[in-house]
Structure 1
């Protein structure tokens, strides 16, 4: 099936898909979110936002399909799909949110702001989907600054690896956390345990993307090389198939898709 939306008055600034439901969700430069069914010329739903959105995440849970939006003011909005009905709004940061990552089992939502010295947060998804009046959603900070990207592990679903880059010190570091909930004094709390970390050798180029698998492996491009590391920092393999820098990268389980400019 080939489908294209009508020409829009404003340029698209964000786009995510929900293949299971044949949905495309867009945001344009006028800060308007639209849901398309990949069949009709008119959107199924339209919602003007008060602030620009830097990231969107669409996923299907046991409670149905949802869209999460991180905006320029530091708020996370949750909407139903395809209706874009408001479910919750949470202030996560005092700066723009640039990363939202939902865990493979949809239990956790990772959020990261633009301010490099702010700690990223992980929220319990259920609290964003079923907010309790008068109480904040369960979450925890991941105590590491300068985060630039992160990825959940597809097999060990409560494990997330962060990549940080301190430009002043020119230091790239990978930190892996395990998330869990614990009942303490009759209250449920979210806890994060750092299980490993390592620094990238200074002569290697700072990567833009990372992927993970098997609970203990991370992979990322660095210049023309594709590097496979253990989460403890042991270089397992260096692929040298490219002559030019890899400029795009995608991981599906352990099928690595990467391309480069000729």
Structure 2
């Protein structure tokens, strides 16, 4: 990849090779060491190495090769590179997993438009929104196919095999339109909330939902997370309450009052420790709750188990995927037409009475220049930079406000921005989408342009409605709407 150092290039060489076994046999040379370092301190030293350094260390001697092959070292590297609560690999060792999944990443990062298979799903689909990957991003599942979940104005939930471009499952028609969707790829489960405030859990295989629960107030936000070995859904309602429900059973664990007005934003941190809650009302300050408190709230709703972030006018928030206790908020002051960003670190300390106390520390803040067109979407990766759209431009700022990169791949306004730990996808009104990948450089995170894709091939019809896209390590999926009644699902995928 461009901009990478020698170590990263060495990792790429291993990834692109036919296998690790040949290199391990030929490369290690017995070093003339009379007294090798004992294995416990050597493993401790190796635990500080990155993947490239660990691979090089394995070439010093057979003894070092055995130590560098230790499962705990590669498990740490896998979970550091792909944050999340992944289970142990079922078919591969951790080192094999790192190289195999890294190969998928590299292939996606180097893909050209002609490398993708192109498929469309058309027909009486209604307007498809929202959507999220049900499977495909779990590094521990080798050969896993990308399955996408999408709701429809036809009051149905669909599942799509992206590589095949086919619908693999459809729910029965529901009584009400699905408004919110969250997926748990670790469990291959989807959670939905419809217009009648009914929460349902689906495995996208059986016809009926696994569980159903109705909530008393209008539901306005939804997210899901894995915590303490179990899965839960959090739902925000119009009364300012956050409901925590088990998944898949939807047993009601708690109801915590967050605001005196609606809970419009709920975002769970990648490490499952925090839940961000925000209200649309301009003067309401957002809060971050300890996930454990939402699971088991103390009597009186202990205020030490959450922290207010002392900024109003929050319109969006994103958790850093590589630093999972860091959250960045976008602040938009409508009356002054100003947009700013503020980044906080969350931590839990132990009080004198032994109770955990949540604290928020502001680490950076800045305002955009007045002359810039106001962004409406943002994304973060490692907590050191913010990517945002402004008109037809994609911009990367440091969290202190320094402009790091500017991209001008679109001719018209960017209408949707999607980010994850590895990719950024922009979708614009010029009927194109553009794929970028995150890179680690000497000066911090950078974006590298990958490829420019048509939203819909050979379709001269101009866009009247915004399109939007999502991405994983092997595919890009775009919903293209040409009229008020139906959408087309466009699926770009790399071969297995």
What is the TM-score with the length of structure 1 in the denominator?
0.95
Distance 1:25 1:156 in 2: 26
Over aligned residue pairs, what C-alpha RMSD do you find?
1.4
Matched, 1:180 2:344: no
SS in 1 for 2:186: helix
SS in 2 for 1:190: strand
Distance 1:5 1:204 in 2: 44
Q: Aligned to 2:395, which of 221, 227, 248? A: 227
Matched, 1:72 2:238: yes
Matched, 1:51 2:251: no
Q: Tell which has more relative contact order, 1 or 2 (C-alpha 8 A, sep 6+).
A: 2
Q: Aligned to 1:63, which of 229, 232, 238? A: 229
Q: Aligned to 1:147, which of 287, 301, 314? A: 314
Shift of 1:122: 0.6
Shift of 1:69: 0.4
Task: Tell me which moved more, 129-138 or 97-106.
Answer: 129-138
Question: What count of residue pairs does the alignment treat as equivalent?
Answer: 262
Matched, 1:104 2:297: no
Matched, 1:11 2:197: no
Shift of 1:134: 4.4
Q: Aligned to 1:127, which of 293, 311, 318? A: 293
Q: What residue is the counterpart of 1:161 in the other structure?
A: 328
- Given that residues 256 and 301 in structure 2 are in contact (C-alpha distance below 8 angstroms), is that contact kept between their aligned partners in structure 1? no
Q: What residue is the counterpart of 1:84 in the other structure?
A: 250
Q: What residue is the counterpart of 2:411 in the other structure?
A: 243
More strand by share: 1
More helix by share: 2
Distance 1:85 1:168 in 2: 43
Distance 1:195 1:19 in 2: 32
Shift of 1:133: 3.8
Tell which structure's C-alpha radius of gyration is larger: 2
Shift of 1:41: 1.3
Shift of 1:188: 2.8
Flag the 1:200–1:193 CA change in 2: closer, same or farther, 3 A. Answer: same
Distance 1:124 1:155 in 2: 19
Distance 2:228 2:324 in 1: 16
Q: Aligned to 2:205, which of 11, 30, 39? A: 39
- Unaligned 5+ runs, structure 2: 1-160, 162-167, 432-496
- Unaligned 5+ runs, structure 1: none
Q: Aligned to 1:210, which of 378, 403, 416? A: 378
Distance 1:57 1:28 in 2: 14
What is the TM-score with the length of structure 2 in the denominator?
0.51
